[in-house]
Amino acid sequence: MNTEKMKGILSSYLRWPLVLGLILIVMDIHIYTLDPNIALYTTIYVGAYLLFALLLFLIKRRTVLRDLVTYAMRFHVATRKLAEGLEMPMCIMDSNYVSIWNNDKFRSTFASELGKRFNITEAIPEIDMRTMPADDDTPADMHFHVNQTYYHAIIRQLNVDHMLEGGPKVKRELARRAHHIGIEGQLYVLYIQDETDLVRVLQENYDQRLDIGLLYIDNYEESLDAVDDVRRALLIALADRKINKYMLQHDAIIRKLEKDKYIFLLQHKYLAEMQADKFSLLEDIKTINAGVAEETSITISMGIGSQVDTYRKRQEYARSAIDLALGRGGDQVVIKTKDNTLYYGGKSIEQEKNTRVKARVKAHALRDSIEVADRLIIMGHNMPDVDAIGSALGIYRIATDLGKPARIVVNSVTSALEPLLRLFKGNKDYPEDLFLTAGQAAEYVGNGQGVLLVVVDVNRPSYTDAPTLIEKVSSIVVIDHHRQTGETFTNPTLSYVEPFASSACEMVAEIIQYSGDEVHLKTLEADALYSGIMVDTNNFMNKPGVRTFEAVAFLRRSGAEMIRIRKMFRTDLEEYKVQAEAVQNMSLFMDAYAIAPCRADNFPDPTIIGSKIANTFLDIQGVKASFVLTEYNGKIYISARSIDELNVQLVMERLGGGGHINMAGAQLTDCTLEEGVEKVKEVLTEMRKEGDID
């Protein structure tokens, strides 16, 4: 309330005795009409009352106002001293965020070296000017820190025009005075609280939250089978000692669940330390081979659940993370949070498992799933290759011989796939609608009741040839040989993902052998499966294993013919010219990585050509890995290949893709071939700085 208004209120209070005197005068007149003698006495008293009331108004008015002003000044000085000495930093700013007043705490903390008037950003560069309040009712709230001190700032807006009270003349005078001292429009009042202790307590609470992890020895049985009894005990003891020592360094509690499985608990702050050294236990565990069994290679996988509210949820995340780590080939750590999935390690080549027990178990489970289904729909990844179609034909044969109708989804036919599909057109042994587009497949599925979807050669729903079918069917089976990523199918009936396998065709060939005596491959199907293995192993040059050749032997016995297959997939002259141009444009980055754009716009399947060129570059001496980029349908496709010196899957995952340790790919949008080449170079440079590549 302003001074002028206060004066008016006090004056009105002092006038009230005079106003009440009028009532007494009226009363006195009325008494005169009743009894003039008595009225004479009342007149004397009323006159005395009015005289004293008038003297009080004239004499005491100035005294009361003077005392009021004195009190107000003292109150103003006291409150100003209180505000200036307050331990909370305060600052008043004009509409340009220039300080017009600040207390001692603010000046000593933020503006000790500044003049009397300064912009708030000069005192506090960390403050975000974009969060200033837009009106008087809604204060701005922000947090910032200076060095190791954390602050909470509250900013309120005050409108000067709304603060001016009184008549027009008074408002004009106050506005003139405000303008004279540089106050116009809005004022901003800044309050700052030191919340360092609160932040420290919250951080300590966050750091001390328990994360749950699972640790599995990847190839426990295979490693022990390769050594004698004496070395076996030593091998187990060394592995157990290294694991316990590593956990002890990070104050973790670890317990062995089974002979090759552990569970551990650790404070969240120690997880950051493990991440900083990139889980050195992954490499350290491999050193126990020296002096024990040179032919043995032990690797471990870890899955850790973190940053969720309940311990049960963290355990579920840990279980999901370890499954993901094993599905990606082992020798790595996967950390799963509610917002993200992080990967560490995964540099070693997947070791082939000699036992076929898992293949037999999965084959029986697949047979059970087929027998309870009414019909099957089979599909691979978008732009399917020979491996996807070959493995799909193998599943088709199992379903058909078990008496279940099945169809295969092929949305687009590439030139590399056309020679194979041509063999099935008009063939009386196969239905005319064996291969369906996505639209035809949707009609075939109908409401999805009783339909089993078998997905082959891909484990990411978004990469399938017809993703819309996934939500329509009753159950799903996934068979793939690529490493898993964070994107997976939800609750599949059966998931058989083996990264050590050379191809999906190899896995299906094994499954067929355990599917029952009534399942018999036809010659064309054996050729297709054989072709898929050949393509994915680059003519048995890329990670074929013992079981690969066992599958090939089975297919040969089933009628597959190498000469017939070779003739089917011969390359035409124009494709050779495109490959030669790509070789000419190839650059050797870091003296080890072949990178080349492939301009195959006139071909229906440039990505297939790109993958062939990437394989060719590996034959150049000194090349550790190759990256070939092709443009197709507005996207840039990257084909990445290596032999054993670089995990190209890790490179492609940083670009949003994935795959195998020595065969991977990615898709880029909104960029040119040249920009894509630069992105690959940036990732390789970044990985070298981080020590992930030599």
Alpha-carbon torsion angle 540, 543, 549, 555, nearest 10? -70
* pLDDT band at residue 164 using 50, 70 and 90 as cut-offs: very low
Average pLDDT over residues 59-80: 67
DSSP state of 346: -
**Distance (Å, whole) CA 511 – CA 533:** 15
Higher pLDDT, 77 or 163: 77
- Percentage above 90 pLDDT, the chain: 28
Of 73-82, 184-193, 455-464, which has the strongest mean pLDDT?
455-464
**Distance (Å, whole) CA 449 – CA 590:** 55
Question: For position 350, what pLDDT does the model report?
Answer: 54
**Distance (Å, whole) CA 383 – CA 388:** 9
* pLDDT band at residue 293 using 50, 70 and 90 as cut-offs: very low
Of 24-38, 408-422, 428-442, which has the strongest mean pLDDT?
428-442
* pLDDT band at residue 395 using 50, 70 and 90 as cut-offs: very high
Q: Residue ranges of the alpha helices (H) in 277-345?
A: 281-284, 311-327
Question: For position 170, what pLDDT does the model report?
Answer: 45
Q: How far is CA 168 from the centre of its chain?
A: 60
What are the pLDDT digits (tens) for 567-604?
Answer: 877 777 877 888 888 888 899 999 899 999 988 877 77
What are the pLDDT digits (tens) for 396-405?
Answer: 999 999 999 9
Average pLDDT over residues 622-636: 90
**Distance (Å, whole) CA 307 – CA 268:** 9
Residues 6+ apart with CB under 8 A from 332: 282, 301, 302, 325, 343, 344, 345, 346
What are the pLDDT digits (tens) for 325-368?
Answer: 887 778 889 999 888 888 888 766 555 555 567 788 889 999 99
Are 473 and 377 in contact by the 8 Å Cβ rule? The answer is yes
Question: For position 72, what pLDDT does the model report?
Answer: 64
Question: For position 678, what pLDDT does the model report?
Answer: 92
**Distance (Å, whole) CA 322 – CA 304:** 7
Tell which residue, 239, 257, 354, has the closest CA to residue 297: 239
**Distance (Å, whole) CA 689 – CA 683:** 10
Average pLDDT over residues 102-115: 85
* pLDDT band at residue 288 using 50, 70 and 90 as cut-offs: confident
Question: For position 628, what pLDDT does the model report?
Answer: 93
Q: Exposed e or buried b for every residue in 362-374, given b needs 16+ CB within 10 A?
A: bbebbbebbeebe
* pLDDT band at residue 680 using 50, 70 and 90 as cut-offs: very high
- Percentage above 70 pLDDT, the chain: 86
Average pLDDT over residues 403-424: 87
Residues 6+ apart with CB under 8 A from 201: none
Average pLDDT over residues 527-541: 86
What are the pLDDT digits (tens) for 236-256?
Answer: 888 899 999 999 999 999 999
Query: pTM of the predicted model, to two decimals?
Result: 0.58
Residue 295 has pLDDT above 50, yes or no: no
* pLDDT band at residue 656 using 50, 70 and 90 as cut-offs: confident
Question: For position 162, what pLDDT does the model report?
Answer: 52
Q: How far is CA 310 from the centre of its chain?
A: 20
Average pLDDT over residues 525-552: 86
What are the pLDDT digits (tens) for 264-284?
Answer: 999 988 998 898 888 999 888
Question: For position 12, what pLDDT does the model report?
Answer: 64
